[in-house]
């Protein structure tokens, strides 16, 4: 019989679904295992061949865990709010909900055709009011505890999406989504205080098993720095506070810079003789992104304040104040003390504006370039600090400033609060009303979900309001607090909202009383293994850790961290080694692969393609090779013999493969696990036949990779009861994993009682237990007390028993 994947795959997908074998139970005596993949955004393009890489990998883990006796939760759902769907809806005049529905149906059919063992009974959808009810509920808890607040601020504004972007969504100065220019715009925004969790988001990385590169990226993103705040007096008698990581260089400060948005500028407006010039510069800076402004290579610009200057607190010298766009309003205090001798940007600025450069750390030629090394130099021209190392000087100057009450040590974070408002339609409505008397008032929880109303147009308005703002009937409401007239918030939540807690909903997806029941949370939390893309390290992964920690703080979840273990897969590139994209014409359609070669081949190939954690180019030849391998497996049924057991000649090969496949799966080395299965196939071919016991083991090992064809062989040849996915994972005998075996003698009380064949490199413990398990020895020592155990490597075991 020929291997015909189509009927086989259809048959088993239906069987799995009907039998519910992959449904997790919230009521089980087995140990739990929660495997999670990032749920997809159901885009109009359908599934990408990159999706199955992650899904198949954790499917292999999930299937193996079930075989190891765990109650496994491996769920899936849809992260379906967001811009691409909304933009499509605007262009084609259909409701985004319709678009979403269609896209989900296609994605679901595609995922099911891959035979991934998802528990479809727990499918969730972030745009379902029964789901976003709880997203809104969590927002209200944040609001009630002061962690959601409204703030007038300069935000990143995408000129094409007409939408506010979080800093994280601006990449190299352009919108991450559409590539258009991003400018600064002042708007009143909902914000979430993720900064309150900055330190814990760093510290608690110690509690989890994440790859080092992921930890490092998060730590970097949070950007903790230690330094000092120092107060400078101005000639107007005001206090201008700066944040610096180099308080040791205070004697080298020759000017100050405040950001163009600094509030003191308005206060000084009538004292500043060049206010017009200043205003022009402010307008120019507003058009630039933070990225452009802080780029080191960029040409330095600025305006010197005419009418106000400052006093260096340690030298007493009067120094000029500038505004320049390289100082950001949102970091530190929005003002800096400039030390051109030891800071590159300050140095460039000083050169351009002809400002003095005073060396305070010895070691470089500061007239030629800034000397920024702080590990080797010694302080000079620095009064009380002269002769100290940089570290010593930092300590001493902070003591001095603290005592004089003009400064203190300070920790700062790069991480900003999370801009949580979007002026778009297709998102969760923010459940807040504004009352002129009572201010921002939360909706009562009983009124959740606050559903998205139907609107005529999803087009954002030109003044930057959400289309919801045009729905006067919906907007005008009464204040839940005083009953007076009030207006609903018309901003919606960003796409990251629904994915910040979705892993909790899977635990109890149909609960109408809570986002998940306490028992379910207690049983399933935390996620045991979470795999996803590196691109989500600083956004989704950080946001969801923040929400989870908040829920932990208010007693809603039992653990401080949501994910015990995180791994990250590499991208699948086009056959030409470039990123797959329509414009490059190198997109591989997963449907075609499944149709032509089958889901099993596709799965096997994606796991065989290369190092899981690295990017890998697609290869048509590779696909064909995997198909041939499965055909060889299929044809094993033609060489089945009546012999029983695992034959002596293949014993080592089988034991070795069981061990390797199991270990490699755990280490994400799927490619080498498959290579081991291929090698074993060659050994079987050489033997010319296979026993049913051998085929049984082989089928169990291959099943997580190629679940359909293995089920079919199992059933056709009646290799055992039930399905393969319900069998116990194969065990191996350590002693039979190595070709090099040696004979050792086993003595009891000095007398040789048996000879054993063991691996040449066997460890003491394994040698002793092998010896004690030997029948004659077991009989000899039974009932006796073991007083001493000796192993002479490669020679003998001696057991002294009384």
State the binding site: 582
- What's the distance, Cα to Cα, between the start and end of the chain in Å? 63
Give the binding range for ligand ANZ (CB under 6 A) out of 330-338, 386-394, 731-739, 769-777. 330-338
Q: Which of 34, 331, 506, 529 binds ligand ANZ (CB under 6 A)?
A: 331
CB of 343 to ligand ANZ, least distance (A): 4
Q: How far is the CB of 341 from ligand ANZ (least distance, A)?
A: 8
Q: What residues form DSSP beta bridges with 180?
A: none
Residue nearer to Zn ion on the CB measure, 436 or 643:
436
Rank residues 435 and 777 by Cβ distance to Zn ion and give the closer one: 435
**Residue whose CB is less far from ligand ANZ, 324 or 544:** 324
Q: Tokens for 512, please give them.
A: 């109408």
Alpha-helix residue ranges (DSSP H) falling in 688-762: 692-702, 707-716
Report yes or no: 307 and 331 within 8 Å, Cβ to Cβ.
no
* Closest distance to ligand ANZ from the beta carbon of 770 (Å): 59
Give yes or no for residue 107 binding ligand ANZ (CB under 6 A): no
164 SS3 class? strand
Among 110, 135, 167, 249, binds ligand ANZ (CB under 6 A): 249
* Smallest separation (angstroms) from ligand ANZ to the CB of 417: 15
The owner of tokens 């800076």 is 285
Q: How many CA atoms lie within 13 A of 223 on its CB side?
A: 11
Q: Which entry of Zn ion, ligand ANZ, none binds 437, CB below 5 to 8 A by partner kind?
A: Zn ion
From the list Zn ion, ligand ANZ, none, pick the one residue 337 interacts with, judged by a Cβ distance below 5 to 8 Å according to partner type: ligand ANZ
Q: Could you tell me the smallest distance in angstroms from the CB atom of residue 678 to ligand ANZ?
A: 51
Q: Which of residues 379-438 bind Zn ion (CB under 5 A)?
A: 435, 437-438
Which residue stretches of 315-465 are H helix?
Answer: 344-353, 390-403
Q: For residues 336 and 158, give the distance between their C-alpha atoms in angstroms, rounded to a whole number.
A: 29
Nearer to Zn ion among residue 438 and residue 800 (C-beta): 438
CA distances (Å), origin 601, targets 149, 609, 697, 728: 51, 12, 20, 24
What is the DSSP-derived secondary structure letter of residue 579? P
Q: How far apart are CA 25 and CA 74, in angstroms?
A: 11
- Using the rule CB under 6 A, is 409 a contact of ligand ANZ? no
- Pick the piece of the chain touching ligand ANZ (CB under 6 A) from 74-82, 244-252, 538-546, 722-730: 244-252
The binding site for ATP consists of 582
Measured between alpha carbons, how far is 120 from 202 in angstroms, rounded to an integer?
35
Residue 193 — φ and ψ, nearest 5°? -80, 65
User: Of these partners, Zn ion, ligand ANZ, none, which one is at the site of residue 681 (CB under 5 to 8 Å by kind)?
Assistant: none
From the list Zn ion, ligand ANZ, none, pick the one residue 290 interacts with, judged by a Cβ distance below 5 to 8 Å according to partner type: none
Q: Tell me which of ligand ANZ, Zn ion, none is bound by residue 243, counting a contact when its beta carbon lies within the kind-specific cut-off of 5 to 8 angstroms.
A: ligand ANZ
Residues 435-464 binding Zn ion (CB under 5 A) are: 435, 437-438
Closer to ligand ANZ by Cβ: residue 335 or 762: 335
Characterize the bridge pairing of strands 318-323 and 303-311. antiparallel
By CB under 6 A, what part of segment 223-242 binds ligand ANZ? 225
Name the residue with tokens 């260089």: 249
For residue 65, the partner it binds in Zn ion, ligand ANZ, none, with Cβ less than 5 to 8 A by kind, is none
* CB of 8 or CB of 430, closer to Zn ion: 430
* Residue 481 interacting entry, from Zn ion, ligand ANZ, none, C-beta within 5 to 8 Å by type: Zn ion
Cα within 13 Å of Cα(660), Cβ side: 21
> Using CB under 6 A, which of the segments 327-335, 420-428, 514-522, 600-608 binds ligand ANZ?
327-335
Among the listed residues 125, 289, 312, 412, the single contact to ligand ANZ using CB under 6 A: 412
**413 or 440: whose CB is closer to Zn ion?**
440
* 665 belongs to the binding site for ligand ANZ (CB under 6 A): no
Instruction: Give one DSSP letter per residue of 39-78, joined into a string.
Output: PPP--TT---TTHHHHHHHHHHHHHHHHHTT-EEE---EE
Cβ 245 to ligand ANZ shortest distance, Å = 4
Smallest distance from the beta carbon of 390 to ligand ANZ, in angstroms? 10
Report the distance separating Cα 492 and Cα 239, nearest Å.
Answer: 39
DSSP string, 89-145: HHHHT--HHHHHHHHHHHHHHHHHTTT----GGG-EETTSHHHHHHHHHHHHHHHHT
Nearer to ligand ANZ (CB atom), residue 265 or residue 799: 265
For ligand ANZ, how many residues bind (rule: CB under 6 A)?
17
C-alpha pair distances (Å), 496 with each of 82, 168, 730: 9, 11, 41
Torsion of CA 323, 326, 328, 332, to 10 degrees: -100
Please say which residue, 363 or 560, places its beta carbon nearer to ligand ANZ. 363
Using CB distances below 5 to 8 A depending on partner kind, what does residue 301 bind out of Zn ion, ligand ANZ, none?
none
Site string for Zn ion, 148-187 (x = CB under 5 A): ----------------------------------------
Contact 110, 48 (CB under 8 A): no
Distance of CA 570 to the CA centre of its chain: 13
CB of 271: closest distance to ligand ANZ in angstroms?
23
Tokens of 83: 């811009």
User: In b/e form, how buried is each residue of 301-340, taking b as 16+ CB within 10 angstroms?
Assistant: bbbbbeebbbebbbbeeebbbbbbbbbbbebbbbbbbbbb
**Residue 260 class from Cβ within 10 Å (0-12 exposed, 13-18 middle, 19+ buried)?**
buried
For residue 457, give Cα distances in angstroms to 89, 160, 425, 460. 9, 17, 9, 8
Distance between CA 107 and CA 130 in Å, rounded? 21
Dist. CA 657–CA 552, nearest whole Å = 43
Query: Which of helix, strand or coil describes residue 331?
Result: coil
Question: How many residues line the site for Zn ion (CB under 5 A)?
Answer: 7
Rule CB under 6 A: choose which of 302, 334, 598, 662 binds ligand ANZ: 334
Instruction: By CB under 6 A, tell whether 245 contacts ligand ANZ.
Output: yes
Per-residue x/- track, 479-518, Zn ion (CB under 5 A): x-xx-x----------------------------------
SS3 353: helix
Binding residues among 498-517 for ligand ANZ as defined by CB under 6 A = none
Q: Which of 148, 155, 308, 327 binds ligand ANZ (CB under 6 A)?
A: 327
Distance of CA 35 to the CA centre of its chain: 14
- Token pair 């101005």 is found at 234
Stretch that binds Zn ion, among 257-265, 449-457, 477-485, 698-706 (CB under 5 A): 477-485
Of the candidate residues 198, 208, 336, 385, the single one contacting ligand ANZ (CB under 6 A): 336
Pick one of ligand ANZ, Zn ion, none as the site partner of residue 334 (Cβ within 5 to 8 A by kind): ligand ANZ
Q: Which is nearer to ligand ANZ, 89 or 337 (CB)?
A: 337
What is the nearest approach in angstroms of ligand ANZ to the Cβ of residue 55? 39
List the 182-192 sheet strands across, edge first: 163-165, 148-158, 182-192, 418-419
Q: Which is nearer to ligand ANZ, 339 or 706 (CB)?
A: 339
Tokens standing for residue 632: 């060889």
Q: In 579-669, where does DSSP find H-type helix?
A: 590-597, 599-608, 620-634, 648-666
Q: Is 776 left (phi over 0), alpha (psi -120 to 50) or beta?
A: alpha
Binder of residue 438, out of ligand ANZ, Zn ion, none (CB less than 5 to 8 A by kind): Zn ion
Identity of the residue, 441 or 754, whose beta carbon is nearer to Zn ion in the bound complex: 441
Residue whose CB is less far from ligand ANZ, 339 or 527? 339
- Binding residues (CB under 5 A) for Zn ion: these are 435, 437-438, 479, 481-482, 484
- Binding residues (CB under 6 A) for ligand ANZ: these are 225, 243-246, 249, 327-328, 331-332, 334, 336-337, 339, 342-343, 412
């Amino acid at each position: 019989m020929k291997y015909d994947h189509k009927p086989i795959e259809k048959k088993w997908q239906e069987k799995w679904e009907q039998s519910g074998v992959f449904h997790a139970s919230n009521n089980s005596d087995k140990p739990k295992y929660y495997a999670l993949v990032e749920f997809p955004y159901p885009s109009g393009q359908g599934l990408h061949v990159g999706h199955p890489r992650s899904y198949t990998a954790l499917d292999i883990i999930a299937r193996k865990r079930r075989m190891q006796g765990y109650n496994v939760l491996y769920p899936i759902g849809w992260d379906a709010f967001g811009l691409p769907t909304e933009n499509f809806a605007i262009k084609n005049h259909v409701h985004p909900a319709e678009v979403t529905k269609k896209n989900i149906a296609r994605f679901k059919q595609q995922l099911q055709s891959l035979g991934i063992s998802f528990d479809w009974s727990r499918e969730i959808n972030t745009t379902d009011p029964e789901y976003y009810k709880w997203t809104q509920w969590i927002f209200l808890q944040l609001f009630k505890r002061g962690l959601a607040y409204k703030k007038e601020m300069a935000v990143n504004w995408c000129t094409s999406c007409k939408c506010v972007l979080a800093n994280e969504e601006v990449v190299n100065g352009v919108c991450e989504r559409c590539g258009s220019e991003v400018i600064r715009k002042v708007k009143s925004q909902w914000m979430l205080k993720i900064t309150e969790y900055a330190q814990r988001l760093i510290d608690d990385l110690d509690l989890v098993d994440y790859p080092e590169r992921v930890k490092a990226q998060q730590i970097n993103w949070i950007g903790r720095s230690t330094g000092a705040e120092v107060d400078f007096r101005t000639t107007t008698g005001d206090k201008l506070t700066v944040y610096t990581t180099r308080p040791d260089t205070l004697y080298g400060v020759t000017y100050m810079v405040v950001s163009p948005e600094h509030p003191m500028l308005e206060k000084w407006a009538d004292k500043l003789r060049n206010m017009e010039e200043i205003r022009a510069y402010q307008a120019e800076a507003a058009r630039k992104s933070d990225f452009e402004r802080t780029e080191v290579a960029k040409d330095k610009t600025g305006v010197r304040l005419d009418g106000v200057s400052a006093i260096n607190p340690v030298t007493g010298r009067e120094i000029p104040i500038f505004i320049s766009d390289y100082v950001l309003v949102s970091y530190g205090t929005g003002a800096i003390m400039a030390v051109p001798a030891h800071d590159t940007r300050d140095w460039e600025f000083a050169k351009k504006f002809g400002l003095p450069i005073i060396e305070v750390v010895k070691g470089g030629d500061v007239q030629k370039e800034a000397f920024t090394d702080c590990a080797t130099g010694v302080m000079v021209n620095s009064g009380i600090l002269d002769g100290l190392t940089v570290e010593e000087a930092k300590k001493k100057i902070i003591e001095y400033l603290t005592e004089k009450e003009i400064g203190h040590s300070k920790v700062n974070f790069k991480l900003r609060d999370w801009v949580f408002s979007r002026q778009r339609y297709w998102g969760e409505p923010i459940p807040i009303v504004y009352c002129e008397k009572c201010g921002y008032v939360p909706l009562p929880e009983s009124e959740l979900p606050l559903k998205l109303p139907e609107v005529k147009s999803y087009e954002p308005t030109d003044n930057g309001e959400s289309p919801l703002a045009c729905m006067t009937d919906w907007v005008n409401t009464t204040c839940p607090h005083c009953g007076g007239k009030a207006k609903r918030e018309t901003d919606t939540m960003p796409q990251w909202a629904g994915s910040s807690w979705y892993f909790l909903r899977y635990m109890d997806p149909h609960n109408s009383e809570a986002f998940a029941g306490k028992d379910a949370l207690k049983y399933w939390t935390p996620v045991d293994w979470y795999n996803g893309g590196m691109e989500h390290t600083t956004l989704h992964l950080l946001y969801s850790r923040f929400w989870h920690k908040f829920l932990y703080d208010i007693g809603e979840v039992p653990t401080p961290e949501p994910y015990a273990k995180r791994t990250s897969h590499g991208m699948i590139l086009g056959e030409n080694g470039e990123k797959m994209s329509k414009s490059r014409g190198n997109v591989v359609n997963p449907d075609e692969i499944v149709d032509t070669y089958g889901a099993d081949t596709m799965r096997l190939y994606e796991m065989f393609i290369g190092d899981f954690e690295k990017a890998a180019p697609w290869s048509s030849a590779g696909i064909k090779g995997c198909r041939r391998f499965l055909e060889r497996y299929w044809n094993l049924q033609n060489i089945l013999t009546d012999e029983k057991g695992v034959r002596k000649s293949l014993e080592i090969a089988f034991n070795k493969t069981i061990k390797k496949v199991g270990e490699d799966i755990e280490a994400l080395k799927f490619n080498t696990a498959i290579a081991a299965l291929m090698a074993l196939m060659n050994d079987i071919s050489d033997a010319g036949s296979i026993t049913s016991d051998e085929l049984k083991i082989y089928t169990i090992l291959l099943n997580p990779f190629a679940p359909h064809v293995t089920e079919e062989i199992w059933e056709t040849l009646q290799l055992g009861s039930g399905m393969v996915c319900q069998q116990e994972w194969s065990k191996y005998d350590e002693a039979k994993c190595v070709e090099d075996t040696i004979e050792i003698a086993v003595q009891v009380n000095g007398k040789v009682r048996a000879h054993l064949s063991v691996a040449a490199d066997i460890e003491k413990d394994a040698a002793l237990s092998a010896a004690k398990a030997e029948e004659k020895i077991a009989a000899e020592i039974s009932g006796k007390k073991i007083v001493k155990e000796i192993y002479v490597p490669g020679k003998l075991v001696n057991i002294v028993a009384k």
